[in-house]
């Protein structure tokens, strides 16, 4: 996750697990002019070419693209990459070639060493298809006032969690996010809304600490997106327990992005007006579940591509220059972990 601008929003007084955010980060990009929320581009209808990306993002350069391609040729352990993938990494790392190289290596390495989240991605497999009823990934049609894409993440109401497999649910969610990234490789930024309304102790009891650590490490160090801010809404006591447990895995940059909202959540609606949000988020614009189902349908249409990637988008540790790595080293985990302690 690259450097990002972070806006300071009014919100409830932080508790022991909330980190106050300064008015503006010392490591940030100039904020874009504020504008009224508007529709996101019809990304699914776009054809992204090198020429189009260079035209729409003036800071991208063909010289940098060629440099990365030459560097990539000297990395025998990395899989083949397309020009659009290189551009995506350049863009999300704010055109820093060195950071881009590190991010590319981590991206493929982490996905290779986390098979529970990135392998067997056939969405028609019964265990994967069953997770659609639990996950909630929402591509909100309108952009926010900064022109950022707004993504909603959460859980659907569920009385019976017997079919929930957290590793497979994470797989489905990441596959959906992959789809969104490909639709808009030079997206100026992502505003994330995490809805905790349906989070239960039952979800947490089925989730392992290693899985949470892998997910958070990947998002913070390897995901090729410009994440700007994360709104956590509908906070409940379960959220407080989870935050206390995962805070050691949250880097300073991500902690500064987090904004917590409860009660009337007026601070949240000041940032994202109700008329752009789905009903489940307290808005008046459509259904989050329907948006989620639409995205899952697109995922099924891309089924063959997902299956093909399992063999084409992984590192070969036998060819890595120097010393091979493993999951423990990649994700910084030593020893063994048990289930989350939620006493």
**DSSP characters over 192-233:** EEEE-TT--HHHHHT-BHHHHHHHHHHHHHT--S-EEEEEEE
Q: How confident is residue 112, by pLDDT bands cut at 50, 70 and 90?
A: very high
**Whole-number pLDDT of residue 46:** 58
Token output for 290: 């329907």
* The domain boundary residue, chosen from 84, 113, 142: 113
Q: How confident is residue 262, by pLDDT bands cut at 50, 70 and 90?
A: confident
**Whole-number pLDDT of residue 1:** 61
Mean pLDDT, range 75-103, rounded to an integer: 97
* Lowest mean pLDDT across 15-29, 310-324, 327-341: 15-29
Q: Are residues 130 and 108 in the same domain?
A: no
Q: Are residues 145 and 260 in the same domain?
A: yes
Express each pLDDT in 34-81 by its tens digit. Answer: 444 445 555 444 589 999 999 999 999 999 999 999 999 999 999 999
Q: Are residues 109 and 128 in the same domain?
A: no
In a domain, 6, yes or no: no
**Whole-number pLDDT of residue 241:** 86
What percent of the chain is predicted at pLDDT more than 70? 83
Q: How confident is residue 325, by pLDDT bands cut at 50, 70 and 90?
A: confident
Express each pLDDT in 195-226 by its tens digit. Answer: 999 999 999 999 999 999 999 999 999 999 99
Q: Are residues 74 and 137 in the same domain?
A: no
Token output for 39: 């529709």
Q: Are residues 92 and 222 in the same domain?
A: no
In a domain, 9, yes or no: no
Q: How confident is residue 333, by pLDDT bands cut at 50, 70 and 90?
A: low
* The domain boundary residue, chosen from 113, 142, 160: 113
**Whole-number pLDDT of residue 246:** 92
**Whole-number pLDDT of residue 50:** 95
Close Cβ partners of 161 (under 8 Å, ≥ 6 residues apart): 134, 200, 202, 203, 206
Mean pLDDT, range 96-109, rounded to an integer: 98
Instruction: Transcribe 60-101 into DSSP letters.
Output: --HHHHHHHHHHHHT-TTSPP--HHHHHHHHHHTTT-HHHHH
* CATH code of residue 281: 3.40.525.10
Q: Are residues 91 and 179 in the same domain?
A: no
- Calpha distance 243→250 (Å, rounded): 9
* The domain boundary residue, chosen from 113, 144, 159: 113
Q: In this model, does residue 28 exceed pLDDT 80?
A: no
Q: Are residues 198 and 296 in the same domain?
A: yes
Helix, coil or strand: residue 309: helix
Q: Domain range spanning residue 108?
A: 48-113
**Whole-number pLDDT of residue 33:** 46
In a domain, 140, yes or no: yes
Mean pLDDT of the chain: 86
**Phi and psi at residue 258, to the nearest 5°:** -70, 130
Q: Are residues 154 and 190 in the same domain?
A: yes
**Whole-number pLDDT of residue 167:** 97
Question: Structural domain tally of the chain?
Answer: 2
Q: Are residues 176 and 290 in the same domain?
A: yes
The answer to pTM > 0.75 is yes
Mean pLDDT, range 7-15, rounded to an integer: 39
Whole-number Cα distances in Å, 316 to 3, 105, 113, 312: 29, 11, 11, 10
Q: In this model, does residue 9 exceed pLDDT 60?
A: no
Q: Are residues 250 and 186 in the same domain?
A: yes
Helix, coil or strand: residue 304: helix
Q: Are residues 70 and 175 in the same domain?
A: no
In a domain, 1, yes or no: no
Q: Are residues 231 and 257 in the same domain?
A: yes
- Calpha distance 261→234 (Å, rounded): 6
In a domain, 238, yes or no: yes
Token pair 């991010």 is found at: 103
In a domain, 321, yes or no: no
Close Cβ partners of 213 (under 8 Å, ≥ 6 residues apart): 249, 331, 332, 333, 337
In a domain, 258, yes or no: yes
In a domain, 166, yes or no: yes
């Amino acid at each position: 996750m690259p450097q990002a601008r972070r806006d300071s929003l009014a919100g409830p007084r932080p508790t022991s697990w909330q980190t106050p955010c300064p008015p503006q980060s010392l490591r940030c990009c100039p904020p874009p002019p504020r504008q009224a929320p508007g529709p996101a581009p019809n990304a699914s209808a776009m054809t992204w070419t090198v020429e189009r990306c260079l035209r729409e993002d003036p800071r991208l350069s063909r010289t940098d693209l060629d440099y990365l391609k030459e560097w990539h040729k000297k990395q025998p352990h990395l899989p083949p990459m397309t020009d659009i993938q290189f551009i995506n990494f350049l863009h999300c790392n704010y055109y820093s070639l060195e950071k881009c190289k590190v991010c590319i290596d981590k991206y493929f390495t982490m996905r290779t060493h986390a098979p529970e989240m990135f392998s067997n991605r056939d969405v028609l497999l019964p265990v994967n298809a069953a997770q659609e009823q639990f996950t909630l990934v929402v591509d909100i049609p309108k952009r926010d006032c900064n022109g950022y894409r707004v993504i909603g993440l959460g859980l659907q109401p569920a009385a019976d969690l017997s079919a929930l497999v957290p590793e497979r649910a994470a797989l489905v969610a990441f596959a959906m996010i992959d789809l969104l990234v490909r639709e808009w490789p030079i997206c100026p930024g992502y505003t994330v809304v995490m809805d905790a309304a349906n989070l239960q102790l039952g979800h947490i009891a089925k989730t392992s600490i290693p899985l949470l650590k892998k997910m958070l490490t990947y998002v913070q160090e390897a995901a090729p997106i410009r994440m700007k801010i994360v709104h956590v809404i509908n906070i409940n006591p379960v959220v407080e327990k989870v935050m206390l447990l995962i805070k050691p895995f949250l880097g300073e940059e991500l902690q500064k992005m987090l904004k917590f909202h409860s009660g009337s959540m007026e601070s949240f609606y000041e940032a994202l007006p109700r008329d752009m949000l789905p009903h489940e988020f307290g808005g008046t614009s459509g259904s989050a579940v329907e948006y989620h189902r639409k995205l899952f349908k697109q995922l099924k249409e891309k089924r063959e591509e997902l299956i093909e990637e399992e063999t084409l988008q992984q590192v070969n540790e036998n060819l890595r220059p120097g010393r091979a790595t493993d999951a423990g080293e990649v994700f910084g985990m030593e020893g063994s972990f048990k289930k989350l302690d939620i006493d």
